[in-house]
Amino acid sequence: MESRTAAWLWIVVLFLLVTYCAILYHIGDTTLPVGALLADPISTIFDACVWILQVIGDFTGMGYKLTNIVVFVVLHPALTIWLFVQWRRARRQGEEV
């Protein structure tokens, strides 16, 4: 179980690193000054997330809208349900021991 936890931790760290790099790339790609991240962080993070979805859409050929639907209507709920089931199983196994 510890190796699975370590694997998930590395996945989260990698995701955060990629998101951070995408935000920095997005800021460098536009005419926004670097201080824009501090002045309006919500819009900057939102724009970076839209950019990430656009890149995924272009890479897969699905486009931005279909990628958005797949991520937020299919993958996110599926992941949430899967994590809930895993949590319930772990809790049930903890009670049996």
The rounded average pLDDT for each run of 10 residues, N- to C-terminus, in the chain (97 residues) is 66 68 60 61 84 91 94 95 94 79
Q: What is the pLDDT of residue 68?
A: 95
Question: Using an 8 Å Cβ cutoff, are 60 and 77 in contact?
Answer: no
Q: What is the pLDDT of residue 58?
A: 92
Distance, CA of 53 to CA of 58 (rounded, Å): 8
Q: What is the pLDDT of residue 94?
A: 83
Distance, CA of 47 to CA of 70 (rounded, Å): 19
Confirm whether pTM is higher than 0.75.
no
